[in-house]
Amino acid sequence: MMSKGLKSFILMALVAVVAGAAGAWGCASLMLRQQDNPGLHAIVHQELKLDAAQTASIRDIEARFADQRRTLEAEVRNANRELASAISASQGNSPAVQSAVDHFHVAMGNLQKATIAHVFEMRAVMTPEQAETFDARVVDTLLQEVGR
């Protein structure tokens, strides 16, 4: 029979794990929604006045990234399912839960790194003036998302 203190500790640890997982999922969901935000697309295709060669290059970059993004998003969803399964099968913050959390963090990190690489790949096609406008708008959008 478990002591009251041990039961409380296990319950608190489980709540902390679930809250952490929910927070991580919320962050991941926000990032995935940002990926679909037409703001970046509008900035690139409407505000920067790209020439025909730049437009073609950026469309190729966007097409490649769309495929990569789908793969990375699927891995984030798989990692989230793994975490949910580990939590439901666990009595607390078990090695399986920690492994699933680590997998989720790696998957989200890979998506974020690929997204940043994509932004810089598009930026490389721009003139210095376009890149300056692009940078300012990207930074402003990121700061708006976190409430400055």
Q: What is the 3-state secondary structure (H, E, C) of 33-48?
A: HHHCCHHHHHHHHHHC
**Least reliable range by pLDDT among 39-43, 65-69, 130-134:** 39-43
Q: For 43-100, write each residue's pLDDT tens digit.
A: 888 889 999 999 999 999 999 999 999 999 999 999 999 999 999 988 788 899 999 9
Which pLDDT score, from 0 to 100, does residue 8 have?
54
Those residues whose C-beta lies under 8 Å from the C-beta of residue 72, and which sit 6 or more positions away, are: 107, 110, 111, 114
User: How far from each other are the two terminal CA atoms of the chain, in whole angstroms?
Assistant: 50
CB atoms inside a 10 Å sphere around CB 47? 12
Average pLDDT over residues 19-41: 54
Q: Which amino acid is at 45?
A: H
140 pLDDT band, cuts 50/70/90, is confident
Is the Cα dihedral 102, 107, 108, 109 positive or negative?
positive
Q: Length of the chain in residues, anyone?
A: 148
The domains found in the chain, sorted by start residue, are: 4-145 (1.20.120.1490)
Nearest alpha-carbon partner for 82 in 21, 136, 135 = 21
Nearest alpha-carbon partner for 116 in 144, 147, 91, 139 = 139
